[in-house]
C-alpha cells in the first residue's frame, strides 16, 4: 500500500525528500525484514500475553519424553504472529499488482486459515472436556480431520499450478543461440516473444517460454527439464494437467513435512528461516539477467518483488525464534507450521527449483519418511507376526533422538546445521553439473 501511495505521489508530481526510496527494491527488502522483526519481537509478546489470558495453552500427550510436563500450558496458535509479520510488511511495501505477490499472499492466508481451524478445534475439545469435568487426553481426532487438511492443500495446489501455467505475465526467458546458418531456440515455443537485451555491453536475444513447463534439474548438463517429456507426444498438449498434479503433490508434501517437523522448540522455525534464505538467493539469481547468464540458468522476469515477501518471511521466522527457542514461550501450532511449509513449496515452484526440494528441504523429507517408515513397518509386522514392531524408538525422527537421551535444544541446532549444509549443496548444484 505504501509503495502504491508513494508511486502515485511521484507520478502526480509531488516532490519531497525520500519519495523515490520506495522505487528501490533493496530499500523495501530491508524495510520488510526490519518491520517483520519488530512485529514478531515487540508485538509478539503482547499476543503471547493475550493467548495466556485466553488460556489457549498446549495440551501435551504423555509420551515419556524429557521436559514434556514443562511444556504443558504453553500458549499455542503463535503462528498468528508469523502470519502477521509476513502479511503486514508485504501488503505495505510490495507491488500488489504482481501475480507472484498475490499468489504468495493467498498461500499464506489459505494454509494459515486451515491451521488456525485445526488449532481452534483442538482447544475447543479441551475446553469441552474441562467443562464436563473429564480428564482431557490429547488426540489427533480432536482437530480438523486429515481429509479436510488434504483437501485444502490439494485445492491450493490446483490454484498455484493453474495460475503459474495460464497467467500471461508468468514467463521464463531463455537466450536464443545464434550462428551464421542456424537459430536454435531453447525451449522451442511457437508463441515465443523476442526481446533484445544488452548484458555487459553485449547484445543478447531472449525468447519467452510461455506455457512451457520447464524446471531446474540438478547434476545434468543443460540444467533444465520439461515435464512434457514425461508424456507421449500425442498427450503433450495436456502436459499442464501433469504439471498441476506435480504442484499438488509438492504443496501437500512440504506443508505436511513442516507440520511434522514442528515438534521441538525452535526446530521448524529455524529450519524454515534457513530454507527461506536459500529461496531468496534462488529468486535473486533467477531474476537477475547477469547472474542468470553467468550460471546458465533460466531467467525469470518479475521476481524482484518476490524478494520483499521472502525478506518478510525470513524476518518473521527469525523474530519468532526470540520466543520459540528453548524453552519456548509460545508454540506456532498448525497455524504456523502448515503455512510455513506451503510458503516454501510455492516459492520453490515459482522460482522453478521444485526438484531441488529434496536437497534443501532434507530435514522435512527425512521427518516425513521416518513417520511413513515407522507406520508402514509397524502395520506390516503386526500382520505378519501378530505384534507391531518399530524401526525408530519413536517417530518423527526428532523424537527418536529424544528417546536416545539428546536434549531437544541440541537436536534442534544439529538439524539447523544439517539444513545449512543441505542449502549450500542446493546452491552449489547451480554450477555443479
Size of the chain in residues: 433
Look at residue 95 and tell me if it is in a domain: yes
What is the rounded CA–CA span in Å between residue 356 and residue 431? Answer: 14
Mean pLDDT of the chain: 84
pLDDT at 61: 57
> Tens of pLDDT along 104-144?
999 999 999 999 999 888 888 877 777 777 665 666 557 78
Look at residue 274 and tell me if it is in a domain: yes
> Tens of pLDDT along 205-226?
555 555 568 888 888 777 788 8
> Tens of pLDDT along 417-427?
999 999 999 99
For the record, the C-alpha cell of 171 comes out as 514467463
Among 192-196, 335-339, 376-380, the least confident range: 192-196
Look at residue 227 and tell me if it is in a domain: no
Look at residue 162 and tell me if it is in a domain: yes
Highest-confidence segment of 6-10, 74-78, 238-242, 342-346: 342-346
Q: Name, in order, each residue with C-beta under 8 angstroms of 385's C-beta and a sequence gap of 6 or more.
A: none
Look at residue 386 and tell me if it is in a domain: no
Q: Please give the tally of structural domains in the chain.
A: 1
DSSP state, residue 233: G
pLDDT at 357: 95
Q: Can you give the residue range of the structural domain that contains 134?
A: 2-169+238-280+302-357
Look at residue 330 and tell me if it is in a domain: yes
Look at residue 105 and tell me if it is in a domain: yes
Q: How far apart are the first and last CA of the chain?
A: 43
pLDDT at 292: 82
C-alpha torsion 270→275→276→280, nearest 10: 150
Look at residue 427 and tell me if it is in a domain: no
Amino acid at each position: 500500500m505504501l509503495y502504491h501511495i508513494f508511486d502515485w505521489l511521484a507520478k502526480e508530481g509531488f516532490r519531497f525528500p525520500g519519495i523515490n526510496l520506495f522505487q528501490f527494491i533493496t530499500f523495501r527488502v530491508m524495510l520488510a525484514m526490519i518491520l517483520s522483526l519488530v512485529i514478531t519481537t515487540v508485538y509478539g509478546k503482547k499476543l503471547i500475553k493475550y493467548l495466556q489470558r485466553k488460556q489457549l495453552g498446549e495440551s501435551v500427550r504423555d509420551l515419556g519424553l524429557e521436559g514434556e510436563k514443562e511444556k504443558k500450558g504453553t500458549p499455542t496458535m503463535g503462528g498468528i504472529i508469523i502470519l502477521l509479520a509476513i502479511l503486514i510488511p508485504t501488503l505495505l511495501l510490495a507491488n500488489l499488482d504482481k501475480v507472484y505477490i498475490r499468489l504468495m499472499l493467498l498461500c499464506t492466508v489459505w494454509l494459515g486459515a486451515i491451521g488456525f481451524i485445526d488449532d481452534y478445534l483442538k482447544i475447543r475439545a479441551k475446553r469441552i472436556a474441562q467443562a464436563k469435568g473429564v480428564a482431557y487426553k490429547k488426540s489427533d481426532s480432536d482437530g480438523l480431520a486429515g481429509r479436510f487438511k488434504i483437501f485444502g492443500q490439494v485445492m491450493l495446489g490446483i490454484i498455484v499450478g493453474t495460475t503459474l501455467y495460464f497467467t500471461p505475465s508468468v514467463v521464463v526467458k531463455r537466450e536464443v543461440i545464434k550462428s551464421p546458418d542456424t537459430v536454435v531456440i531453447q525451449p522451442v515455443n511457437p508463441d515465443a516473444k523476442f526481446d533484445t537485451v544488452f548484458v555487459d555491453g553485449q547484445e543478447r536475444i531472449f525468447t519467452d517460454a510461455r506455457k512451457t513447463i520447464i524446471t531446474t534439474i540438478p547434476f545434468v548438463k543443460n540444467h533444465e527439464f520439461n515435464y512434457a517429456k514425461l508424456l507421449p507426444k500425442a498427450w503433450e498438449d495436456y502436459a499442464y494437467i501433469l504439471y498441476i498434479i506435480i504442484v499438488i503433490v509438492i504443496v501437500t508434501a512440504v506443508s505436511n513435512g513442516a507440520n511434522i517437523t514442528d515438534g521441538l522448540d525452535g526446530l521448524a522455525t529455524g529450519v524454515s528461516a534457513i530454507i527461506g534464505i536459500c529461496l531468496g538467493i534462488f529468486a535473486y539469481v533467477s531474476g537477475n539477467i547477469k547472474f542468470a547468464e553467468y550460471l546458465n540458468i533460466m531467467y525469470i522476469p518479475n521476481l524482484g518483488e518476490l524478494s520483499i515477501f521472502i525478506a518478510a518471511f525470513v524476518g518473521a521466522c527469525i523474530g519468532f525464534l526470540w520466543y520459540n527457542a528453548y524453552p519456548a514461550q509460545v508454540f506456532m501450532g498448525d497455524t504456523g507450521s502448515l503455512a510455513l511449509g506451503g510458503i516454501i513449496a510455492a516459492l520453490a515452484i515459482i522460482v522453478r527449483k521444485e526438484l531441488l526440494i529434496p536437497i534443501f528441504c532434507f530435514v522435512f523429507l527425512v521427518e516425513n519418511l521416518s513417520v511413513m517408515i515407522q507406520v508402514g513397518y509397524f502395520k506390516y509386522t503386526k500382520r505378519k507376526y501378530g505384534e507391531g514392531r518399530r524401526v525408530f524408538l519413536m517417530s518423527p525422527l526428532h523424537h527418536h533422538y529424544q528417546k536416545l537421551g539428546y536434549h531437544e535444544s541440541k537436536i534442534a541446532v544439529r538439524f539447523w546445521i544439517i539444513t545449512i549444509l543441505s542449502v549450500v549443496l542446493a546452491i552449489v548444484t547451480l554450477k555443479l553439473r
